[in-house]
Structure 1
Amino acid sequence: MKHLILCLGLSGALSLPTLAQQTAPSGSALIMTQARHDILGGNFVGYQQQALPLLPRLLPPSSRAAYDQLLAGLITTGLEAPEEVLNTFLEQHPSSLDRERAQLLMASAYISKGQLLQARGLLERIDLRGLSEAEQAEREVYLGYITLCKPTPRHPIREARPHLERAIISNSLWGEQALLLIAALEWHEDNTPQAQHLLSERRWSKALAPEVAYLKALIGFQTKSPEEAIQQTLLAGLKYPELLKRPRLMGTLGRAYEHEGDEAAAREYLLPLLQQGDLLPEEAYTLATILYKSKDYDGARKALALATSSTHEVGALAHILQGNMRLEAGERSQALLAFGAAAGHPGATPQAREYAIYNSIKASSGGAASDFGHSLRLYEQYLKEFADSPRHREVYDELADQLALSKDYAASLDVIKRLDNPPASILHTQQYILCRLGELYIQQEKPELWQRYLNEAIKLGDQGLYYTEALALSARMHLSRGAYTEARDAARLALKKAQASSLGRGILHYILGYAQYNLGAYPEADRAFAQFETLATDPALRSDAQLRRGDCALVALGPSAEAIQHYSKANDLVEGGNAEALYRLQHLYGRRSDYAQQISTINQLLSKHPRAPFVAEALYDKGRAQILSGQSNSEAEESFREIERRFPHSREARLASLERAMLHYNASRAEEAIAIYKRVIADHPTTAEARTALADLKNIYTAQSRMDEYMSYAEALGAGLKPSDEEAGHLLFLSAQNQHLQGHASSIRALQGFVQRFPSHQDTDKARLMLAKDLLATGQATEALPLLSQLNRAETEAALRLEALELLADYQYKQEQGREALASYRALYAFPDLSLGERQRAGLLVARLALKEGDPALSAQMAEQTLNLKPLSQEMQDELTLIRGKASEAQNKSNEAAKIYSSLDKRLDSPYGAEAYHSRARIAYASGRVSEAKKLLEQFIAQGSTQQYWMARSFILLSDCYMMLGDRYAAEQYISSLKENYQGDEEDIAQMINQRMQLFNKQ
């Protein structure tokens, strides 16, 4: 019968380097336990054609013509169809004496093809009486081998050993084979002395001598020094050269040479295994360290790709080496991902884990890169997990620095709150973060949040500069909300601290002054503003402080010289003068009856500040001063006429008309006075000035005995003892208006009744607007929209028409009626009496909607026009710039779009700046400039942004870049890190992460 040599595929593996020093231990520790699990590999000589010529010498002489024909058939056909030949023999010769031998040969064929279940079933059915003693040993070796290979037995060695022990009693090659396998099993079960005894107790046949030498060489690496083991293996290699070509022995030699410091020899044995893809993780790690030292980073990366697949400690150490290598190459983000993988590796020892987390901390410290709070959690994890480490205080101090750099304030604050007994450096940083959160929510106009965080900062006590800052911010915001007592108290407390700069102390005095001023504590306010002036340098703020000091003096002393001095200084402090100071001065001069000085001051105000908000009042005061100073009536009348021309709808214009009428009457021009009074009544019939005009008109007619004429006029107006229809309508309107302003549910019914009864009243359009507002507020848009459309006509008062158009446009926008809203906002933008802020908002919305509705040309045009409406808030400027970029991109002008996006590079903390930067990278990626896109994204991540959504999108695009560049490892690490650490709940982010994870799993 033929023989079967089961080659011992034992993998020799050197132990892993220690954490502190990458050197291997010596002596018996050179072979890991894992090496003993690879006892029976697939590299055995079984049913193969070259074994067939040996078979006749192993068979006992017998009458076996049919069996000889079977062997001849096998030799002829080779390995292509052995089952067919054997089955044919068994079917044609069911009673052959060689039937059991044929079945044994058939089992060998099954084993050689890996069909172990079929082989076992066949072997168990063989009648042992038909086999010779050598063939029975062969059968037992087969059964032992199958048991070792099967994954199902709980104790495969225990079950295989009886088969092998029954085989060793045979003096055949099979008994010798069984003994060799038992020696291998003894070594596998840590009974090395017994294994050595079995290997040395007999003289081995030539067929198995190489396998014995192979096993002895592997055991030598466990029992001897590396130098002795190497020498023994090389001597065996001289006798059996093919041994030195076996992968596991090559790997073991390579690791041993590396341990002995002969990296050239180690590389000679390990590098071919890398090229063949036959390295164990431990061997791959050893080779990676050698290649890394020789600056062969590409080769080291390939070796590490194999080493990191290990679930044992070497996998964790491979990730650490990967991180060190990435860090040395300047690839900081990839290094952090590698260290993170090492820390989370299932085989990482506590020492390796500490090293990985500490390296992550050191690599991430000093940067502002966004990782969704992951690096902060590493600090927290290190401090809790390695509380006894000598690096504990160092890590605390670095954490304080990192927390101060991080822009993910909420995550930083959560980390601090979870720390036990944090040192002063952490508390100082905590106060800083609370101040930044307070600022953030001040910008977002969320008072409940900024107040909460600033109060928390103040409760920490005096931890340094940021305690004063928290008090100053709190004082400023309390002042802006009218909480003057709280503002005063916070400012006072902050001023007691010495940390504030002179400028900061000045601002605190300024806030304190305003708080005291609004609380009516004028002397205290004056002292605070005086202190501010000694510290401040900004002319505008110093001018404002002088104004308030003037107000304080005016309240305390009346129209005094001291008040005049403060107002004059306020005017002189700023280039071009201070309009409010001049207005206060002229009013003060009027109270002192210094009309010449009053008129001169008013002229100065009108000349230097023609658009000041109180020009109409100043002109009226000028006219009154001209009358009171005895100047000609024509000069006073000209002042009053100027008010009527420039401010026809203002109260001052109506008062000016009354003054002109009185001037004409006093000059005996009663008809001119009557005409003016009637025009006031006709143009402004519901105003107090109209009632004054009617009373004065009545007096003129009475003085001239023209009562019938007055009564006829009054009848035409509906005047008399009972209210006229107009007056009745106005009273009804005022009632409905009052209900509307108070939010009564009955206001809709009242306003509807007024509109139906008085469809053409002077207050009807106002009522329609109020009714539309109430209907919209109660969800009755169907009834509200026609009212708004009615108001959008030329004869409607401009202010009412404007407000109606704004309501209509805003409703259409909220209801996503894109085309309709676009038309309404375009009409609003073109409205002549629109304020600057309203026109800017309308322009922004036209640009935004035009882009959404597929008209990028209009969007770009409107964005550019609106950007020219100065001054413009930073946020609106950012969004309009982003829209311009999107519009260019929609018109296939990618280069122009990228250039526009780049203008927002310094605005990465705004949502528009972050999106613009990501869009630049996306354009580069889509245009095939993958390296450029990668560089942009890495710069974005390194600089960091509070816009976590766009940071997550950038992680995903950066992963795509690495895939395109062939670095699958970095690509997968970015997506894995994002999946584990990103806290957002956006569906598109989750979908993109899952798509890429599925792609990685398929590859």
Structure 2
Amino acid sequence: VLLILSFIYFPASAQKSVYYDPPQETYRQAMESFRQQNYGAAAPLFERYMAENDNPHDAFYENAAYYYTVSNVALGNKNALQQVEHFVTDYPESAWLPKVYFELGKLYFKSRKYTETLEAFSKTSPEKLTREQQPEYYYKKGYSELSLNEFDEAAASFSQILDSKSSYGPAANFYYGHIQYQKGNYDEALMSFKTIENNKKFNKYVPYYILHIYFERGNYQQVIAEGSSYLQKADRKIKGEVNRLIANAYYELGDYENALSYFEDYERMGAKNLGSDEHYRIGYTKFRNKQYNAAITNFQKASETQSDNTQNAWYNLGFCYLYTHQKKFAQNAFLNAYREETDPEITADALYNYVKLTIELGGDMYNDPVTIVKEYIETNNGSEKISNAYELLGQLYLASNNYEAALASLEQSGQMNPELQAIYQEIAFTSAVSEFNKGNYEQAMTNFDKATKFSADPEVKLNALFWKAEGLYRNKDYEEALKLYKAFISTPGSSGSEFYAAALYNLAYTYFNQKNYWQAITYFKKFLQTNSTERELVSDATLRLADSYFILKKFDEASALYDRVIQNNAKDADYALYQRAFCYGAKGNFNSKISSLTTLSQRYKKSYLYDDALYEIASTYVIQNDPRHAIIYFDKLVKEKPQSNLAKKSLLKLGFIYYNNNQNEKAISTLKQVVDKYPASTEAREALSTLQSIYMDKGAIDEYFAYANKLDFVQVSTGEQDSLVFTTGENQYINGNCREAVPKLENYLQQFPQGGFVLKTFYYLSDCYEKMGDEEKALKYNLEIIGFPDNPYTAGALLKAARIEYDREEFDPAKKHYQHLADIAEDKGMLVEALDGSMRCSYYTADYRNAIAYAQLLIESGTADDNQRVYARYISAKSYQSMGNTDKATEAFEQVEQGSADEMGAEAKYELCLSAFRKGQTDQSEALIYELSENYSDYPYWVAKGFILLADIYVQRGNTFQAEQTLQSIIDNFEGDDLRQVAQEKLNQLKSQN
């Protein structure tokens, strides 16, 4: 039966007689093993049969070769592929070829050679395969096509066995469902997935697809219901994705509270490589649950990639920053949301929030909000939001520090309604005051005029009037200043102005400077009647009122006012004591005069009037014919203030007193001190004249000549010629004719190098050369004056020489001369300049200790103005910094920042930011950086340095997103290449680490 079946089953090419022989028995055994699927036994038997049968063209031989090949395939032998290929080559016309190609395809499939699999399958067809082989054929063909992304072909192959009961049916349904899912054919996909949802092999994964389909169809409740059940049995790898689907279903239903817990589970299970949309959904869910800090990270990620939600991500990120008190970040986020321009409503609202924050924060370091709003107006003209935009524009103009650009924009806008007119006035006024405080009076005057152009804001117009008068006053245009001050105080409502008292004060001062003392008295009185709380102004006005009475010889009124300043222990009380003494003296009350001066000398030993007081006390005692007390005070002055210009006068007067009281030896000794200490001075010549009289009285004129001839500056025999030659040059100088005076004066020096007028000649020449612009020779003669012992010209020569040397950056000699001047200066202004110059030169020559010392003297002088005191503290800070004393430097920088609104203040603020950062006080440093940005926006270099430091703070905190945003902002907007390069290097380093 078996043999008959064999003849029926296998194709034959010839008929043989039936008889028993060994090859046929081998063949029979092999077939029996093959049918029993015992391929391990069948393969060697088929191989033996072919070895025993020497006719390869025999039908049984061909059959044996086929079954041998199939057995090797079934056994997975290494040579199976080779066997199949040999069969195809050996029997190209065989009826077994369709099945052989099927087997060949299977081998390629097993090796994942899907292209070769499909090529082999293409040479057979399902009709030529057994019913059992057909499902395998369609499955492996479909899988190969799927692997090669031939989705339509794969779907067609899988569809042939969707209803198959074979083992390939479930897998075919799974892959078919997957393809239809990917193509969006959810009905087809769901039908296949439903077929196998309970299949043990696929029930862990199929529900996930089904949930996806429900979600895509919008069946969110079904996703939630079935997804919650599926979570209990889902594989851990899939649980995270199921949580994501359920979370998104709740999200779509607007149930953000329930969505949050599933999103959190999803993140806890290691959600990775989320897309921007997913980050946005998670961020928005956290946002709706008021988890603003947590939402920030997701919105940041969502904003990094361009998508439909990019604008929303920036917009909501702005609110997250706002609600977590990070207004600078919020400002930037709203600006980015505005720039996306996806949704017009969000664009308009983002712009509104950006502008509001910009105003609140005092501006935007790297963007011009005015330009941004104007661009919005231009591109959205006709929009219902335009009126809001104009309102924002007005608010920005009001808050902007870029006054000139703001004024120009308003002037060009054509939108000058009353509201904008008022804004225009206030901007013009604020700009004018800013320029005024910088000393740019011309620009200030222009803008004060603009502030008075409209009357929409009467108060601003009134204040502009005052400040314009102030500018004219400082430029010494007193006539015009008077007109405007009067216009100001006569304007209705001016008495309620904060500048009313100042206007009266300045008006009084203007009259005072014009020597119109009665009018000055009138307005000083009116100022004092305002009960101003400015103590220094009140004190000064009282003094000037007293001075006006004094000049008008109303000594009682003057004395009473001086006394008021003295009783209040006000600033310049020393001056009041001094002037009150002269009031007493003018009325012949010398005892009261002496008492007032004595009080001054006892209370104010460091006063610039101290030596004057001593001199006047002594001189008053002379008037009272009290030589004993006169001697005491002249002597006190000489000993305590030897550098004073009054010292030589006091010494001379001591000599006179001794002479007049017949104390000739003391007189001679004292007068010779005058000659020795102050040669070539007027006092020296007076002393010589008196000495001549004394020696003549003694009958010892030869002693006088012997003494006088030893003096370099005295030429007794040629005195008349000396005087005549000098006088010719002096007359030209006095007439203002320096070009004629110089050669005559220099001729005098050649003829009389030791003449009696040498010192004065040096002074005249230094002054002429200064006027003629010959700096070198002016310096030469000033140095000649300085070479003499201190004299009336010393202070001026020191000041002029130091100025020239300072301008030439010859700081060592300049320092020497400024320091000498600081020791002898009696004039307040000169003393301040001497201290200031000593401080600067000490700093520039790295003499930091002296720089600090002179800075402190300048601060304590009581006569330095605010700017000078601030600069002194700045020099102290920089000096301490150079010395490595960071604590003292920080303390000084704090004082600089408090007193300066210019670049010194900006630098000081940055140094405070840096100091806090170095101490690990990053929160404080960050706050100071924002203050730097807000208060010193006119100084972008220091603000940019502050933001680079801020990026370092973000890096320390692990907030690389904001660090990169900050650095990129500097790169995009800062104009200086040096700091842009620093920012770029830091940004590159950050990106290389991510």
Q: Does 1:766 align with 2:762?
A: yes
| Counterpart amino acid of residue 357 in structure 1 | L
CA distance in 2, matches of 1:314, 1:972: 21
Quote the residue 2:470 is aligned against: 476
Residue 354 (structure 1) shift? 2.2
Quote the residue 2:249 is aligned against: 256
| Counterpart amino acid of residue 966 in structure 2 | Y
| Counterpart amino acid of residue 347 in structure 2 | R
Quote the residue 1:724 is aligned against: 721
* Alignment match of 1:571 (pick from 554, 562, 566): 562
* Alignment match of 2:301 (pick from 293, 297, 306): 306
* Alignment match of 2:953 (pick from 934, 939, 961): 961
Percent pairwise identity? 17
* Alignment match of 2:984 (pick from 973, 994, 1002): 994
Task: Pick closer, same or farther for the CA change 1:304–1:72 going to 2, 3 Å.
Answer: farther
What is the 5 A alignment of 1:519-530? Answer: 527-530=522-525
Residue 360 (structure 1) shift? 3.0
What is the 5 A alignment of 1:273-352? Answer: 273-274=266-267, 275-294=270-289, 296=291, 299-345=294-340, 348-352=342-346
Residue 509 (structure 1) shift? 2.5
Q: Residues 429 and 447 of structure 2 are in contact (CA less than 8 Å); yes or no, is this contact kept in structure 1?
A: yes
CA distance in 2, matches of 1:76, 1:288: 57
CA distance in 2, matches of 1:677, 1:462: 75
Quote the residue 1:841 is aligned against: 836
Residue 995 (structure 1) shift? 1.9
Q: Residues 851 and 875 of structure 2 are in contact (CA less than 8 Å); yes or no, is this contact kept in structure 1?
A: yes
Q: Secondary structure at the match of 2:499?
A: helix
| Counterpart amino acid of residue 950 in structure 2 | L
Q: Residues 513 and 526 of structure 1 are in contact (CA less than 8 Å); yes or no, is this contact kept in structure 2?
A: yes
| Counterpart amino acid of residue 306 in structure 2 | T
CA distance in 1, matches of 2:525, 2:863: 32
Q: Deviations over 1:782-812 (max 9, x none)?
A: x999988887757576436634762575257
* Alignment match of 1:492 (pick from 486, 490, 496): 486
What is the 5 A alignment of 1:910-925? Answer: 911-925=903-917
Quote the residue 1:22 is aligned against: none
Q: Deviations over 1:279-315 (max 9, x none)?
A: 3322322222323344555653443343223312312
CA distance in 2, matches of 1:670, 1:196: 132
* Alignment match of 1:456 (pick from 450, 456, 459): 450
Q: Residues 860 and 884 of structure 1 are in contact (CA less than 8 Å); yes or no, is this contact kept in structure 2?
A: yes
Q: Could you tell which deviates more after superposition, 235-244 or 957-966?
A: 235-244
Residue 567 (structure 1) shift? 2.9
Task: Pick closer, same or farther for the CA change 1:765–1:226 going to 2, 3 Å.
Answer: farther
Q: Deviations over 1:496-551 (max 9, x none)?
A: 14155376323223323343555677766555445334324467756765776788
Q: Could you tell which deviates more after superposition, 648-657 or 991-1000?
A: 648-657
Unaligned segments of structure 1, at least 5 residues = 1-60, 78-83, 113-118, 149-159, 188-194, 702-708
Q: Residues 231 and 239 of structure 2 are in contact (CA less than 8 Å); yes or no, is this contact kept in structure 1?
A: no
CA distance in 1, matches of 2:760, 2:825: 21
Q: Residues 374 and 981 of structure 1 are in contact (CA less than 8 Å); yes or no, is this contact kept in structure 2?
A: no
| Counterpart amino acid of residue 316 in structure 1 | Q
Task: Pick closer, same or farther for the CA change 1:774–1:588 going to 2, 3 Å.
Answer: closer
CA distance in 1, matches of 2:726, 2:416: 72
Residue 892 (structure 1) shift? 5.7
| Counterpart amino acid of residue 481 in structure 2 | A
Q: Residues 832 and 858 of structure 2 are in contact (CA less than 8 Å); yes or no, is this contact kept in structure 1?
A: no
Task: Pick closer, same or farther for the CA change 1:785–1:799 going to 2, 3 Å.
Answer: closer
CA distance in 2, matches of 1:826, 1:650: 16
Q: Secondary structure at the match of 1:313?
A: coil
Residue 483 (structure 1) shift? 0.6
CA distance in 2, matches of 1:795, 1:65: 133
Q: Residues 793 and 801 of structure 1 are in contact (CA less than 8 Å); yes or no, is this contact kept in structure 2?
A: no
Quote the residue 1:23 is aligned against: none
Quote the residue 1:7 is aligned against: none
What is the 5 A alignment of 1:107-126? Answer: none
Quote the residue 1:153 is aligned against: none
Q: Deviations over 1:198-252 (max 9, x none)?
A: 7699999969999999888656555555446767x75997999789939888655
Q: Deviations over 1:429-464 (max 9, x none)?
A: 544444444333333333233333333323344614
CA distance in 2, matches of 1:913, 1:729: 54
| Counterpart amino acid of residue 432 in structure 2 | G
What is the 5 A alignment of 1:136-151? Answer: none
Quote the residue 2:347 is aligned against: 353
Q: Residues 282 and 307 of structure 1 are in contact (CA less than 8 Å); yes or no, is this contact kept in structure 2?
A: yes
Task: Pick closer, same or farther for the CA change 1:751–1:143 going to 2, 3 Å.
Answer: farther
Q: Secondary structure at the match of 1:454?
A: helix
Q: Residues 733 and 754 of structure 1 are in contact (CA less than 8 Å); yes or no, is this contact kept in structure 2?
A: no
Quote the residue 1:41 is aligned against: none
Q: Residues 367 and 405 of structure 1 are in contact (CA less than 8 Å); yes or no, is this contact kept in structure 2?
A: no
CA distance in 1, matches of 2:231, 2:537: 95
Quote the residue 1:48 is aligned against: none
Asked which structure has the greater CA Rg, the reply is: 2
| Counterpart amino acid of residue 238 in structure 2 | K
Unaligned segments of structure 2, at least 5 residues = 1-62, 127-133, 163-168, 696-702
* Alignment match of 1:973 (pick from 965, 968, 974): 965
What is the 5 A alignment of 1:163-182? Answer: none
Q: Does 1:950 align with 2:942?
A: yes
CA distance in 2, matches of 1:318, 1:336: 14
CA distance in 2, matches of 1:541, 1:888: 35
Q: Deviations over 1:361-381 (max 9, x none)?
A: 444554447645656666666
Q: Residues 910 and 946 of structure 2 are in contact (CA less than 8 Å); yes or no, is this contact kept in structure 1?
A: yes
Quote the residue 2:435 is aligned against: 441
Q: Residues 899 and 905 of structure 2 are in contact (CA less than 8 Å); yes or no, is this contact kept in structure 1?
A: yes
Residue 487 (structure 1) shift? 0.7
Quote the residue 2:795 is aligned against: 799
CA distance in 1, matches of 2:81, 2:797: 103
CA distance in 1, matches of 2:646, 2:286: 89
Q: Secondary structure at the match of 2:963?
A: helix
Scaled by the length of structure 2, what TM-score is found?
Answer: 0.66
Task: Pick closer, same or farther for the CA change 1:807–1:139 going to 2, 3 Å.
Answer: farther
CA distance in 1, matches of 2:511, 2:815: 50
CA distance in 2, matches of 1:671, 1:439: 67
Task: Pick closer, same or farther for the CA change 1:890–1:201 going to 2, 3 Å.
Answer: closer
Scaled by the length of structure 1, what TM-score is found?
Answer: 0.65
Q: Residues 839 and 851 of structure 2 are in contact (CA less than 8 Å); yes or no, is this contact kept in structure 1?
A: no
| Counterpart amino acid of residue 253 in structure 2 | E
Q: Deviations over 1:818-845 (max 9, x none)?
A: xx57974896588555854145324532
| Counterpart amino acid of residue 844 in structure 1 | M
CA distance in 1, matches of 2:627, 2:921: 77
Q: Secondary structure at the match of 2:354?
A: helix
CA distance in 1, matches of 2:939, 2:803: 32
Task: Pick closer, same or farther for the CA change 1:680–1:328 going to 2, 3 Å.
Answer: closer
Residue 416 (structure 1) shift? 5.6
Task: Pick closer, same or farther for the CA change 1:700–1:752 going to 2, 3 Å.
Answer: closer
| Counterpart amino acid of residue 971 in structure 1 | A
What is the 5 A alignment of 1:83-94? Answer: none
Quote the residue 1:531 is aligned against: 526
Q: Secondary structure at the match of 2:309?
A: helix
Task: Pick closer, same or farther for the CA change 1:995–1:439 going to 2, 3 Å.
Answer: same
Task: Pick closer, same or farther for the CA change 1:864–1:359 going to 2, 3 Å.
Answer: same
* Alignment match of 1:245 (pick from 232, 238, 243): 238
Task: Pick closer, same or farther for the CA change 1:639–1:311 going to 2, 3 Å.
Answer: same
Quote the residue 1:506 is aligned against: 501
| Counterpart amino acid of residue 245 in structure 1 | I
Quote the residue 1:421 is aligned against: 415
Task: Pick closer, same or farther for the CA change 1:621–1:411 going to 2, 3 Å.
Answer: same
Residue 349 (structure 1) shift? 1.9
Q: Secondary structure at the match of 2:901?
A: coil
Quote the residue 1:13 is aligned against: none
Q: Residues 907 and 914 of structure 1 are in contact (CA less than 8 Å); yes or no, is this contact kept in structure 2?
A: no
CA distance in 2, matches of 1:976, 1:494: 51
